[in-house]
Amino acid sequence: MRLIPISMVHPGMRLGKPIMSEEGQTLLGYQIELSQGLINKLKQMGYQQLYIEDSRTDDIYIEDALRAETRTVVRSQLIRIFETLQSSKGLTAGDRNTFSKTALQCIEQVNDDLRLHVRPADDTIMLMLMNRSTFSVHEHFFQNALNVCVYASRIGMIEGYSREDLEVLSLGAMFHDIGNT
């Protein structure tokens, strides 16, 4: 499997990884043969790169650092948090409490995935590949928040941060661009 720009994809190629919607639903499954119509639709949807099957790299499979379920849950929670922040003139104490609990649940889920699914030997590869996912252009903000959180969290784990310090680091990383929403 290789990651290639969508401009180089042509009919007859097969997907090396499924393409997921922003809500975590499978749009196109693994090994689906791409037609020109599907390629055009993916371009319209803003996809810029795709994992494509390649016989020269059959023995290579790229694991995600986070489970698909974690990505979906964290994404929907981030959207809810950002929409709340954008729509209100000011946050009430209740809003701040809900925001904090939701954000911490997201961080815990990300960090649990990293603890359970990433071996120390995978760190370099995982960090290089986190940003190499297939997503549409308007999805970039949420993916960036999640990627920066994963990078920072993994570095904190390697450095031996306590659980509390890791939560603070992860929260700061996840919301580093909050002023840009």
Say which residue, 7 or 21, is predicted with more confidence.
7
Say which residue, 68 or 127, is predicted with more confidence.
68
Q: What is the pLDDT of residue 131?
A: 47
Using the predicted structure, report yes or no on whether residue 62 has a pLDDT greater than 50: yes
Residues 6+ apart with CB under 8 A from 106: 73, 74, 77, 78, 174
Using the predicted structure, report yes or no on whether residue 10 has a pLDDT greater than 60: yes
Using the predicted structure, report yes or no on whether residue 109 has a pLDDT greater than 70: yes
Q: What is the pLDDT of residue 133?
A: 55
Report the DSSP beta bridge partners of residue 15: 52
pLDDT digit string (tens) for 40-53? 999 888 788 888 99
Helical (H) or strand (E) element with 19: strand 19-20
Q: What is the pLDDT of residue 64?
A: 72
Using the predicted structure, report yes or no on whether residue 136 has a pLDDT greater than 60: no
Phi, psi of 173 (to 5 degrees): -65, -45
Are 66 and 110 in contact, with CB atoms under 8 Å apart? yes
Domain 2-57: CATH architecture, name and number where available: Alpha-Beta Complex (3.90)
Domain ranges of the chain: 2-57, 68-180
Say which residue, 180 or 58, is predicted with more confidence.
58
